Every structure is written in structure tokens, then in C-alpha cells.
Amino acid sequence: MLQIAVYGKGGIGKSTISANISHSLSNRGLKVLQIGCDPKHDSTRLLLGGKVQNTVLKYLREVPKEDRKLDDVLSVGSGGVHCIEAGGPEPGVGCAGRGILTMFDFLDSNGIGDMDHDVRVYDVLGDVVCGGFAVPLRHDYADVVFIVTSGEFMSLYAANNILKGLQNYDNGNPRVGGIILNRRGMDGEEEYVRNFADGVGLPIVSVVERDPLFMQAESMGRTVSEAFPGSGPARAIDRIVERIEGIRDGTVELYHPRPLDDDSMDMVAKGLPLDSACDCGYVRARNPVKDSRSLKSCAGAGAVSYTARIRGAHTIVHGPSSCAYMMCCNSDIVTVHRDLHGDGDSIWDHVTCTDLDDSASVFGGIPALEEAIRHRAEMGDSVVFVVSMCVPGIIGDDITDCCTRMSAETGMRVIPVPVDGIGAGGVVHGREMAIGKVMELVEPCDEKDMGLVNILGDYRVGREFHAHMDSSVEELLSMAGFRINTIYPGKCRLEDVYRMGRAGVAVRSMDNLVFNRNCDIICDRTGSVHMREALPRGMGAIDRWFDEVSEITGRDTSAAKAEVRSRYEAGISGLMPHTKGKRVVVVTRPSGKYRWLFELLEDLGVEVVRTRETTYNRWVMGTELSMSKEEYISGMVESDCRELEPDLVLSDSQSDLHIGYRCTAIGEPHPGLAGIMDYAERLSRMFRVPVIEGWRCA
């Protein structure tokens, strides 16, 4: 007998898929038993004409021990499939996981093993961290495990936890059959799941499309395999069954569980590609991005940070007031409103909250959301974004339906961003979802103006804000024949979003993986050409940027490039008396990009006597050191300084290097000629300051 466990996050569709698998197997002449291991006890409903059968736990609660029989909890469904449901305790009472253990004890002691079944299918809840629900993972109960998932991050997170559970019960034999993708209709869903599947080394056995035939079959109380044989959904089920038959006859291989570690799941949440598995069985991510908030900060905060920056549109945070307060105190949003718009508005003039409290957990939060939307209509808004937090996701508020209804009622554009707090992953994923929604506002434009450019991401939002950098970037763009069309997110109004489709070219304000993905999303919608080069930092980057402008637009930028080069060389020559022959130690981060820095040092005549990477982190080293990060980095650099006696240490470490040598942070220059020249002058000044300030010697 082959025992199959079908696992997945609650609500992912594993019960529907399990019932269809059982029915299809029975149609092929196999004797099948399906056991539902979910407290909501609806696993076998489609096999029983839509009826819900008596559960084992209810039976055990009501029938004395001496009167109990296996036949009382076993029903025969369509195709002759035998059906058993575990059930669960009363809501809020007892432990459902303990109930699963009790059910298996009853079945084992009442002769379930003596029944002549060819296949036994377990339908199991997979996102509850509980030993009871892990019972089918133990070798005695499951020879093969299939994992049902969608492209939602929490579904993939549950899938990874299931693999971890399998690894805990590993007996040395491979038992994973593969992944079943049950589509939810997300953009790029299959790519997200395939990235995860490739990372854990598993095949996607079948892709089950979101098809109305499933709903029609369920309304008939039947499986889609029974109600619509030969249909697309039925063929998707058949692919799973064919794989099961291959496993039974030994022609299809099984796989060992290889779950991802937390850092690699971080990369999955960002939609970034993964490398192959390392020796320990976990996957190491490529090009790790040092954004520790990516999952620790929620997707809701990421979404609000990208919707609240659009003046003329309003953002409603659907959740508790504490969520809105914390995310709107985010320094990036506050800086945008203070430094860029400069109109005296508070962030709270553009963001409101539905202020959900405990009563929403009982009665739902939709009435509060409807009231908030009506209020914004009274205030004269034309576009409102609704960003959902964790509470609406938990209680099941359908904000998409609500926004559709309220759009019709109020005449406003009410756009849902259903991230459900952390439900869509981390802050980076939330921003991507918000960008996708914002792009719905872009007016289509077939005639692209190659003289207009969209700047995606605003370099001015940061710790160091210099107003004169605006003129430097505008001068650079003007020399290349560009006029700024829209800057998003940043100093952006609603009308700027509407006209984004007019620009023929889009350029990132900074060169990093996150901005690159954001730019891809926007250019897919607007049809603009996505420049490979971001706004340039450093003379070499400026040269490459002008060359790409010529390639894209056909404009001759050689004169502009020569003019900028001439001004750069004149500035560098004035600094050379203070920099030529100086010696530096450079401390970099593994994920940083420093081409501009080493080009500048070479042009200034500065010798790099040693480079170091701040490899004190679990992503690179894979082990913990006994000393602190500060001690580790400072110890390396102090040793270098004693040996090499450099004139300056340039460090991109986040820690303060407490050493008795000149040391300054690398940072990153602003784009354009002025940015790199400011940095060069800063280096020149650093070479001239004393190692220890005079006041320290007093």
C-alpha cells in the first residue's frame, strides 16, 4: 500500500486537490482511503455528494469506548473511495493537534491496517507548528509527501516549514514527491514558485489553474474529475495521479527534503534568484541584499511608503491605529514630505487609518473601511489607496470587493493594495505590490517622447540632502537631451503618475537589486526603455551613461561627455597636490558596488594598499564568532594599520571603527559631476586633518 500525505497552508486548496486525486485514482481501479486531518473536516465533502460526514473526534466524544466501531466513522464516497474525517475540538477548547494523535490511535487499534487499500491519502493542515499535525510525516504514515502552494509568500513559507518537518523525521529515504502549484491569479506567480522549487530542488508536478469549473463542481457536491472529466482542471489532476502511479511502479524518483534557511527565504520574498544548494542541504542566496528590515518590517509599511508619496492621492491604512502610526513615522516618508514637497503639509494630511479595535475581530472591519472611504469622498479626493494590515487579513475582510463597491458608490478611484500586513512578505514585496497598483493610474500613450525621462526612486531621500544636487542632475540630463517627466517615488503628484507613459526612457536613481526590479515593473506598464545604467556616480559611470543614451536615443553625446570629462580632470588636478602618493586601506561590504571609488582613488593618485570585506555575518561565514562585529572588524583594520601605516582608512562598515588612525565612511556620492567632485574634495580634506583632533590633546 502506498501512503500519500498532501500538505499545504490552510485555505490553499489541498482538500479539493486531495479529493480529486482520490477520485481519479479510484477511476483507475485502485482501492483508495482518504483521511481528512484538518479540524474543519471538509476534506471528503466532494466525495460524499457535498455532505459532511461524522468525525472521529465527535464520535469518540459521544460514544462509549466499548461501543466504538471503525465502520461508524467510515463512509463510502464516489468511485468507492473510503472516507474518514478527524474533526477537531470545540473552538477555543482543547488542542486540535492532540486530536489528530487521538484519531490515529483509534484507527490503529480498530483495524484500519487490516483493510485492503492500494492507496491511502492524508489531507493535512501544514501551517500549524504542532507535533500532532506532523504525525503523517512520520514514516509509518506517509511514503510520499506532496506540497500544495500558491505564489503567496506565506504559502511558500508554510511549504518550507513542511520540508523542515520532514527533515526532522528523516529516516534516510527520500519521500518528497514534488510541489503542486494551485494558482491564485497573482502576477508572476509561477516564477515565484519556480524560484522556490528550484531552490529546494523539487519539481512542480502540476500547475492547477484558477478555473470556475472547480466552483461549479463544488456546487454540485462533486469533484471536478467526476463532474468534468477531460477538462483542463481534470487534466491537471491527472498529471499528479500519473506521477503517483510512476512512484508506485518505481519509475518516478522521490526527493530528500532540502528546506531553505531564513536568509534564502528572505530572497524568495523579494523575488530574487537563488543559487544551488550548499553542502549543508540549505540554499545560499546570490547577491545578498543587506536590508535586515525586508521581512522584519511588514509589507504594509512598504506599500504605504510608496502610495503616501503621491500628492493628490490619499492612502487609507486599514488596520489598528498603531500600525499607521509606526509606518508613518518612517524616516523616508517624513523626509519626502519635509524636504521635497515643502508645502507645510503633515504626513497625516495624506494618510488616514480605519482604527480597527477588538470589535473588528468579532464583527469585521468592512463597515469602518466604508466609512473612511465615504469621508475621503466628502473631502473631494479623486484617488484613494487602501492598504490592509494583518488584522483584516486574519478576520477575512475582503477589501478588494469593498473597494469595487465603494468606487461605484462614490465615483472615486478606490484602489486596494491587499498586502495584509506581512501576508505578502516583507517591506520590499509590499513596495512592489504598491507599484503595480499605482501603475493602474498611468494613462496609455503610444507615442513615446525620447526626450522625456522618468526617474525611478529619488536619490534625494536619504541621510544627506543637498539641494544643489538637483541642479547637477538636471544639468546632466539636459546635456544628454532629456527633460524630467516624472520622479517616482519622490516629489511626485497624481498628474505626474498619469503622464508616466509619455516618457520614452526610464532611469533608476540608484543601482541596486530592489530599484532594478521596481523599474522593471514600471517599464512593463509604461513601455519606456529601461536604461541599464542608473544615474551615474563617478566619472567612469558618467561616460558609460552618456554612451548608453546615444545607443538608446541615437543622439550624439560625445561633446557633452568630453565637456564633463574636461571639468572633472580640471577639478582632480587641483586636488592632486594633497592626494597623490597617499595610501589607504579600504573596507567594503560584500554586497556593495565600489567601482566609482577605486576609479576615483586611481585618478587622485592614491594607492590602495589593502582591501577588506566586512565578512562578519552569517550569510558569508555561516558560523558565529565569539567576539562582537565591532571587535572583529576593528581588530582586522587595526592590524592592517600597524602593518601598513596608511594615511586613511575608508570603511563601509556600519560599525564605528575605534582605531587611532584617520578613518572615514565610504558612503555613496550623489549622481552627476558635482557628486563625485564633492567626494573627491572630502578625501582631500581628510588627508590634511590631524590623526587626533587638537582638543583631544589639550
Pairing of strands 283-285, 274-277: antiparallel
Asked if the peptide bond before residue 489 counts as cis, ω within 30 degrees of 0, the response is yes
Instruction: Quote the CA–CA distance of 647 and 653 in Å, as a whole number.
Output: 18
Which residue from 449, 499, 491, 446 is spatially nearest to 473, judged by alpha carbons?
491
Q: How many CB atoms lie within 10 A of CB 35?
A: 28
Which helix or strand (DSSP H or E) is residue 237 part of?
Answer: helix 232-248
Q: Which amino acid is at 129?
A: V
Q: Which residue has the cell 514637497?
A: 341
Instruction: Quote the CA–CA distance of 442 and 612 in Å, as a whole number.
Output: 46
**Phi, psi dihedral angles at 6 (to 5 degrees):** -105, 110
Three-state SS string across 658-670, please?
Answer: CCCCCEEECCCCC
Which residue from 282, 625, 305, 343 is spatially nearest to 489, judged by alpha carbons?
305
- The answer to whether residues 302 and 429 touch, using CB atoms and an 8 Å cutoff, is yes
Instruction: Quote the CA–CA distance of 415 and 425 in Å, as a whole number.
Output: 20
Q: Which amino acid is at 131?
A: G
Instruction: Quote the CA–CA distance of 610 and 551 in Å, as a whole number.
Output: 37
Instruction: Quote the CA–CA distance of 121 and 1 in Å, as a whole number.
Output: 11
Q: Which amino acid is at 454?
A: N
Instruction: Quote the CA–CA distance of 97 and 417 in Å, as a whole number.
Output: 34
- Kindly tell me the sign of the dihedral angle through the C-alpha atoms of 492, 495, 497, 503: negative
In 305-427, DSSP assigns E strands to 310-311, 313-318, 351-353, 383-388, 413-417
Chain mean position to CA 228: 36
Q: Which three cell numbers stand for residue 308?
A: 503616501
- Which residues are CB-neighbours of 420 under 8 A, at least 6 positions away? 299, 300, 388, 389, 390, 392, 393
Pairing of strands 75-76, 82-85: antiparallel
- The answer to whether residues 239 and 206 touch, using CB atoms and an 8 Å cutoff, is yes
Burial pattern 354-371, b for ≥16 Cβ within 10 A else e, equals bbbeeebeeebbbebbbe
Point out the residues that are catalytic: 9, 14, 40, 127
Q: Which residues pair with 148 in a beta bridge?
A: 8, 180
Q: By three-state DSSP, how is residue 25 classified?
A: helix
Q: By three-state DSSP, how is residue 177 classified?
A: strand
